[in-house]
Amino acid sequence: MSGSAIRASRNGGGAEGLRVSFEFFPPKTEAMEATLWHSIERLAPLSPSFVSVTYGAGGSTRERTHATLSRILAETPLKPAAHLTCVGATCAEVDAVVDSYAEAGVRHIVALRGDPVEGIGATYRPHPGGYAYSADLVAAIRKQHPEIEVSVSAYVERHPESPDWQTELDNLKRKVDAGASRAITQFFFDNDLYSAFLDRVAAAGISIPIVPGIVPVLNFTQTSKFAQKAGATVPPWFAARFEGLEEDPSTRQLVAAAVCAEQVLDLVDRGVTDFHFYTMNRADLVYAVCHLLGMRAAKPAGDEPLEALSLRERVG
Ligand code: FAD
């Protein structure tokens, strides 16, 4: 951690001008639904810019994603962003999902290509009647619903299928030209890679915000496996921090918060103002890291105790 990052955290400040967003996945069971809503209730008072809800491979969570978005819209003042992918669906089917999001009141879509239904690593083949790549989906959304803001993905270590940086940046440029106004990165652990990526993006003449995607390490073994599939490097110094903690969840949790805080505070030092947290539907680590960023829960205007108010009243 650099000197000024330590000072920012010691001052308990640093939230000025900082914005966060939180990503959730749609729950499969009632127990998972309860966990998700507990997390949303805990994180909502931090007034995120938006909260996003993922879309399962091949549209497997279409109904659940929609139900989660609808509940967020009905019960909270949060601005939801709906993820959507091209995989395994015709253009008409994808357009219908976009229409249904718009009708429900969603005004922000994270437009993605998606991975083959067989899993990451299998060869991607566009659906014969579908949108082939994310840029095609962005263009379609913007054409049908210009009122909807569109975010896209970006990869600080290149998408695993991009053979070189030119291909990677050409693709990001196509997405921007199609109407994307923000990119959210795949997670990464080495901030120098993010800085180098920003330099490449700027040199390519791309000027939309590139928001770092931050993953708190809830379980190092699982995160490493996921990182390998997603093409994200786990540096040896990073792995060393979790060494020997496999059977020690409480220390692991403390270390995870410290490691994640160290990453985001260093990014603040590098001038980053927006952070997108992959929450895995868990609030504690993300809440702690946001606290260290200087963020505090919004206070209601009246005198009523916080617990007596609905989430909408508490935050809105
Ligand atoms: P694209 O930007 O379309 O690019 C994918 C690859 O195709 C790149 O290598 C690109 O260079 C290449 N390419 C692009 N256009 C062409 C072309 N015309 N010809 C040949 N090659 C081309 N997955 C889900 O299933 N659900 C989610 O909710 C989800 N959310 C995500 C959120 C974020 C912030 C991120 C970073 C990823 C998310 N993913 C999600 C994972 C994502 O679907 C995968 O990483 C997928 O492999 C690529 O999708 P993309 O939109 O990045 O693809």
pLDDT one-digit tens code per residue, 168-206: 999 999 999 999 999 999 999 999 999 999 999 999 999
CB 113 within 8 A of CB 86: yes
All structural domains of the chain with their residue ranges: 17-221+274-282
User: What pLDDT shows up at residue 121?
Assistant: 74
Taking the C-alpha atoms of residue 213 and residue 186, their distance in angstroms, rounded to an integer, is 6
Ligand 1 pocket mutation pick from 171, 177, 194, 206 by most atoms within 8 angstroms of CB: 171
CB 261 within 8 A of CB 9: yes
User: What pLDDT shows up at residue 314?
Assistant: 62
Residue 136 has a CB neighbour count (10 Å cut-off) of: 20
130 pocket-lining for ligand 1 (C-beta < 6 Å) = no
Furthest CA-CA distance within the chain: 59
Atom of ligand 1 nearest to the CA of 120: 47
Report the mean per-residue pLDDT for the chain.
Answer: 92
153 pocket-lining for ligand 1 (C-beta < 6 Å) = yes
Atom of ligand 1 nearest to the CA of 84: 28
User: What pLDDT shows up at residue 280?
Assistant: 96
Minimum mean pLDDT range among 8-17, 173-182, 291-300:
8-17
Question: Which residue type is seen at 119?
Answer: G
What CATH number has the domain spanning 17-221+274-282? Answer: 3.20.20.220
Q: How confident is the model at residue 284 (pLDDT cuts 50, 70, 90)?
A: very high
Ligand 1 pocket mutation pick from 112, 134, 166 by most atoms within 8 angstroms of CB: 112
